[in-house]
Amino acid sequence: MNKKKNAAEKAVQYVRDGMKIGLGTGSTAYFAIVRIGELVKEGLRVQAVATSTASERLAVQHEIPLIPFHQIDRLDLTIDGADELDSQLRLIKGGGGALLREKITAFHSDQLLIVADESKVVDRLGNFPLPVEIVPFASEWTLSALEQLGCKVQLRKSESNNLYISDNGNYIVDCNFGIINSPEQLQKQLKEIPGVVEHGLFIGMADRAFIGHEDGSVVVIDRTT
């Protein structure tokens, strides 16, 4: 039973004819894009923006109409994945390296729908290293400032063992904080560091999550605050 596919297809049921939608990045968002492509071929009319070059290529492959960002002000909804989420729908995202574009797209969406399997649901965030996007200039200083927040830092490498470069031309640092007791405080501290472009904490942004389980069920979690 494909837990990710089930969760993604459940979320896609919220896509309505005529909507402007954001397409997320990652292994679960992949299934959402594929399903939207199937519905487009059946007559669904949507316009979409993509949060990464990989998602853009997938959308083109499945004939989902893409619209330039400058032609729209808001999105009706975005469907995206998460690396971790808690019961309050606080998220860690960025495992796929698209956290900056994902956060920009989520901010300009009326709804952010998260799709994940049950392994991504945690009591407290922090088992998954927190991705932080930084500018290459003086990156050593930025890394040092991040370490002073109490984490172990690791510049992400590509599959060819070179430094990973985001779609925006920046570095990604994976910051291992362990359990994050106050995500709200941490996000403020991260944003105060010059050189940090964006971080993978998504607080108060997700509206609903669809969690795929081994038995084939999909549990829906709504943000209560």
Q: Where are the beta strands (DSSP E) in 118-200?
A: 130-134, 152-155, 171-176, 196-199
Whether 23 is covered by a domain: the verdict is: yes
By the 8 A CB rule, do 177 and 151 touch? yes
For residue 94, give the CATH number of its domain: 3.40.50.1360
Q: Which residue has the tokens 């609903």?
A: 208
pLDDT at 225: 56
Residue 138 and residue 92 in one domain: no
The pair of structure tokens assigned to 106 is 């989520």
Residue 67 and residue 146 in one domain: no
pLDDT in tens, the chain (225 residues): 599 999 999 999 999 999 999 999 999 999 999 999 999 999 999 999 999 999 999 999 999 999 999 999 999 999 999 999 999 999 999 999 999 999 999 999 999 999 999 999 999 999 999 999 999 999 999 999 999 999 999 999 998 889 999 999 999 999 999 999 999 999 999 999 999 999 999 999 999 999 999 999 999 999 875
Residue 118 and residue 185 in one domain: no
Residue 16 and residue 110 in one domain: yes
Cα separation, 31 vs 12, whole angstroms: 10
Cα separation, 79 vs 208, whole angstroms: 10
Residue 10 and residue 117 in one domain: yes
Q: Which domain holds residue 176?
A: 130-196
Given 102, 118, 184, 214, which residue is catalytic?
102
Whether 164 is covered by a domain: the verdict is: yes
What is the domain count for the chain?
2
Residue 73 and residue 181 in one domain: no
Residue 208 and residue 154 in one domain: no
Cα separation, 208 vs 198, whole angstroms: 23
For residue 184, give the CATH number of its domain: 3.30.70.260
Residue 192 and residue 207 in one domain: no
Residue 136 and residue 81 in one domain: no
Residue 72 and residue 93 in one domain: yes
| 102 part of the active site | yes
